[in-house]
Amino acid sequence: MIIMGVDPGLTRCGVGVIEAGAPRRLSFIHVDIVRSDPKLSQDLRLLAIYDGLVGKIERFVPDVVSIERVFAQENRNTVLGTAQAAGLAMLAAAQRGIPVALHTPTESKLAITGNGKAEKPQMERMVARILGLNAPPKPADAADALAVAICHALRPQGALQGGEREQHLTAAQRRWAEATQQAARRRGVRRDM
């Protein structure tokens, strides 16, 4: 199963892609940051994030998109931008018939370290260890995106929002999903880092 993790943000949106194989066997595929220029208007920034997310979905054809659930922060503008980016990730997935899972930062910390209050450096080290990376992924948004993907792989039961993939698909989406999955199998999934 290919899982794309998203750490939503309006300036920097982390994207991490992993493969979940045999029980508890996880493999690194890709990590990146989708960026938008703070000097642009809000609509153009959202478009840049959306286009970047769509590009990642079309490249890696995930079976599920796991998104860090937005939580309250002191800065309303930060929460608004984060929520909008999360909505774009959900939209991009839903348009392609890909189920979405939402996980809180506490759920990710608990799944990865066993401690729901783990500090960021501990999380980054554990993400690197679980995926067999030589060093923790940087920046922090990238590590968080991989963490939410790992969280979903380790805690899949009941995590999907909206049910199974088949419930999401219209006839056109089924054709698109089948065609892109066949194309991905023919060319093989590229692994980065």
Binding residues for Mg(2+), as ranges, are 7, 68, 141
Cis upstream peptide for 139 (omega within 30°): yes
Residue 141 is a catalytic residue: yes
In angstroms, the CA 57 to CA 89 distance is 9
78-114 burial, b at 16+ Cβ within 10 Å, e below that, comes to eeebbebbbebbbebbbebbbbbbbbebebbbbbbbe
What distances in angstroms separate CA 181 from CA 51, 54, 60, 188, one per listed residue?
20, 15, 9, 10
Tokens of 17: 């892609």
Q: Which of these is catalytic: 32, 107, 124, 141? A: 141
Q: Which of these is catalytic: 19, 32, 68, 107? A: 68
Helix axes 140-154, 105-113, angle to 10 degrees: 70
Residue 74 is a catalytic residue: no
Residues carrying an active site annotation: 7, 68, 141
